[in-house]
A and B are shown apart, each in its own frame.
Chain A
Amino acid sequence: MTLLAIDKLNLAAGDIPLVHDLSLSLAPGERLGLIGESGSGKSLTALAAIGLLPPAIAATGSVTLGGTQVIGASDATLSRLRGTVTATVFQEPLTALDPLMKIGRQVAIPLARRARRDGTSIDIDREVIALLEAVALPDPARIARAYPHEISGGQRQRVAIAMALACRPQLLIADEPTTALDVTTQAEILKLLDRLVRERNMALLFISHDLPVVAKIVDRVVVLQKGRAVEAGPVAEVFATPRHAYTQNLVAAARQFDAALEATP
């Protein structure tokens, strides 16, 4: 059974094609990286997967999420699907949290929604603290009472991950979750995502332009260039022997950057 299947997906804004004939699939527990430069259609593909495309963008083809067709589905169907099958972590930790709401409540809302939909009753306060602990936040009780501007960028991103986990998704979509963070924090967040995805047996769709980051966390990659999938395969294979010129450029650029880093004392 596949969790997410994208088949011949075409996205266009008016006459301008944005994503062309893209097909990919993701089984439960599998990790897929979607890489490419800015404007290559990575984030749009992720939005299409959960039916959150801006109204100006037209989609054709097929996207099935947990067995349900997403393209053309009603908002009610989609909102149910989104809450139970997927959750998303975004790039910018500054805007990912509601500035006027305490952290604890922001985590509590998706928790309560999930419990309501499952028809179970849970101790929300305790679950909030448990989630904040799960994302390795220090002093969860204090953080739960804090506003977003009172904690650091890395901590905010951990909270965003906790909110995503609150939905208990089968598929976690991470859209450049480490791009806005400094290198040390980046490594910590990656380690955290890696552990959580393993422990909770989630599938992961990881979107990034940063090859080394992607290589650390996923099994397979799809390389996008100008809306087309130019290369796909196991991550080690694609990075060791890139066949497409674009991938070769990406890999070479990453290696040069690494070499430059190592050359500096």
Chain B
Amino acid sequence: MKRPGLTLTIGVLLVGLHIVVGLLTLVWLPYDPTSMTGGRLARPSWEHWAGTDRLGRDFFTQVMIGSRIALIVGIGAVAIGGVIGVTLGILAAFATKLLDDALAATLDILIAFPTLLIAMLVVAASDTASLFTAILALGIALSAIVARLTRILAKRVLLLDYITAARTSGASWLAIVFEHVLPNIAPTLAVNFALQFGLAVIAEASLSYLGLGAPPPNASWGRLLQEAQGTVYTAPIGAIAPGIALVSLAIGVNLLADGLRELTDPSKRGRA
């Protein structure tokens, strides 16, 4: 048996590291991210921990800013996807059969498209590529997955006797949603949100890599990877540093989700 505490601890540590770095960038950076004083493609040194890029900018500074952007993207995309998805899912679960079937079929079709493809379509449909369009696009793409999960979970809870008991004692639909359905599906949703967060971070890196994410002054990991592509043999650190950052956050979030799942298992919780 795996120790549940260990999974969660490593997850929290990795994600926590990125949060600390992300917050730190708001108040302090090793170098001005636009200052080109470090010399072209300098090797890692005490002055420049991860060397410099083609324009002489400190690479470590940019990777740090990348943490902040990744967190903003993850939180933003999950918040948008979560609100849209949970609302749609709950509506579908409570709707008449016809409406529910229509919603379920639409969601299945949406899910059949890869998340990244939907996000690319949304970005392409908007005029300018910005961090916000990338977040919105990912949020919309994720909402279908969240909605489908919410619908199934809610439907399962709605079949239970305590819901019927609440209805026979005169509870309104809204009261049932907030008192019984949401609390009971929240643990599973929370785990799913953590996984979606990881997906969103990777998807944003892919979008940026393709030039559809945050535009150049923003040092997104995906854009750093893309810029390092040309110099990967001469200065491999340019690809390795944002790569490690991206992977560590993605793994951290997944471990966190796994740990959360074990923690919120109803049979193990609440011995107060």
Which residues on A are within 8 Å of B, measured CB to CB?
Answer: 50, 52, 55-56, 75, 79-84, 86-92, 95-101, 106, 109-110, 113-114, 117, 145, 147, 149-150, 160, 163-164, 166-167, 173
| Cβ-defined contact, B183 with A88, below 8 A | no
- Give chain B residues whose Cβ lies under 8 Å from the Cβ of A89: 165
Rounded to whole Å, the gap between the CB of A80 and the closest CB of chain B is 6
Contact of B108 with A by CB under 8 A: no
A160 touching B165 by the CB < 8 A rule? yes
Q: Which residues of B contact A52 (CB under 8 A)?
A: 164, 167-168
Known: A98-B184, A100-B270. A79 touches B167 (CB 8 A): yes
11 of the cross-chain contacts (CB-CB < 8 Å) are: A52-B164, A55-B97, A56-B97, A98-B162, A98-B184, A109-B175, A110-B170, A113-B171, A147-B270, A164-B165, A173-B168
A-B pairs, 4 with minimum CB distance = A83-B170, A88-B168, A95-B161, A110-B169
Across-interface contacts of B184 in A (CB, < 8 A): 98-100
CB distance from A217 to the nearest CB of B (A): 20
Contacts of A83 in B (CB 8 A): 169-171
Contact A97 B162 (CB under 8 A): yes
Residue with the highest number of chain A CB atoms closer than 10 Å, among B160, B166, B170, B172: B170
Question: Does B101 make an interface contact (CB < 8 A)?
Answer: no
Min CB distance, A60 to chain B, in Å?
A: 20
Q: How many A-B residue pairs have CB under 8 A?
A: 88
Does B272 lie within 8 Å of A145, measured CB to CB? yes
Give A80 to B169 CA distance when docked, in angstroms.
9
- Contact A80–B170 (Cβ < 8 Å): yes
Shortest distance in angstroms between A104's beta carbon and chain B's nearest beta carbon? 12
A87 in contact with B183 given A95-B161, A100-B270 (CB within 8 Å) = no
Q: Tell me the chain B residues, 141-178 only, with Cβ under 8 Å from chain A.
A: 160-162, 164-173, 175
- B181 vs chain A, min Cβ distance (A): 10
Q: Cβ of B170 and Cβ of A113 under 8 Å apart?
A: yes
Judged by a CB distance under 8 angstroms, whether B96 is at the interface is yes
Pairwise interchain contact B267-A149, C-beta atoms closer than 8 A: yes
Residues of A near B47 (CB, < 8 A) are none
In which size bucket is the chain B interface?
20 to 34
A185 to B97, CA, bound (A): 40
Chain A residues in 8 Å Cβ range of B3: none
Within 8 Å CB of B97, what residues of A? 55-56
User: Of all chain A residues, which has the CB nearest B267?
Assistant: A149
Q: Which of B162, B168, B271, B272 contacts A86 (CB under 8 A)?
A: B168
CA distance A88 to B98 in the complex (A): 29
B271 adjacent to A150 (CB under 8 Å): yes
User: Smallest CB–CB gap between B106 and chain A, Å?
Assistant: 20
Q: How far is the CA of A101 from the CA of B175 in the complex (A)?
A: 14
**B215 CB, nearest partner CB in chain A, Å:** 45
Specify which chain A residues have a CB less than 8 angstroms from the CB of B161 in the assembled complex: 90-92, 95-96
Given the complex of chains A and B, what is the CA–CA distance between A106 and B266 in angstroms?
A: 17
Q: In the complex, how many angstroms separate the beta carbon of B176 from the nearest chain A beta carbon? A: 10
- Interfacial residues of chain B within 37-53, with CB under 8 A of chain A in the complex: none
Q: Which residues of A contact B173 (CB under 8 A)?
A: 75
B180 touches A82 (CB 8 A): no
Interface string of B95-109 (1 = CB under 8 A from A): 011000000000000
* Nearest Cβ on chain A to B42's Cβ, whole angstroms: 56
Point out the residues of chain B lying under 8 angstroms from A150, CB to CB: 271
Contact B266 A163 (CB under 8 A): no
**With a CB–CB cut-off of 8 A, which chain B residues contact A101?**
179-180, 183
Nearest A residue to B160 by beta-carbon distance? A95
Asked if residues B169 and A98 are in contact (CB atoms below 8 Å), the reply is no
CB of A111 to closest CB in B, whole Å: 10
Q: Is the CB of A164 within 8 A of B169?
A: yes
Which residues on the A side are within 8 Å of B172 (C-beta)?
79
Q: Which residue of B lies closest to A86 (CB)?
A: B168
State A145–B267 Cα separation when bound (angstroms): 17
Return the chain A residue nearest B183 by Cβ.
Answer: A100
In the complex the two chains form, what is the Cα distance from A80 to B172 in whole Å?
Answer: 9
**8 other contacts beyond A79-B172, A83-B171, with CB at 8 A cut-off?**
A52-B164, A52-B168, A88-B168, A96-B162, A98-B179, A109-B166, A113-B175, A166-B169
Q: Encode contact with A along B218-236: 1 for CB under 8 Å, 0 otherwise.
A: 0000000000000000000
Q: Which residues of A contact B162 (CB under 8 A)?
A: 95-98, 106
**B239-263 interface bits toward A, Cβ cutoff 8 Å, 1 = contact, 0 = none:** 0000000000000000000000000
With A55-B97, A95-B160, A98-B162 known as contacts, the answer to whether A109 contacts B179 (CB < 8 A) is yes
Which single member of B167, B179, B271 contacts A82 (CB below 8 Å)? B167
Are A87 and B169 in contact, with the CB atoms below 8 A? Answer: yes
Tell me, in angstroms, the Cα distance from A44 to B135 when the chains sit together.
49
Determine the distance from Cα of A163 to Cα of B169 in the docked complex, in whole angstroms: 8
- By CB atoms of chain B within 10 A, which of A52, A99, A167, A173 has the most? A99
**Could you tell me if A79 and B170 are in contact, using CB atoms closer than 8 angstroms?**
yes
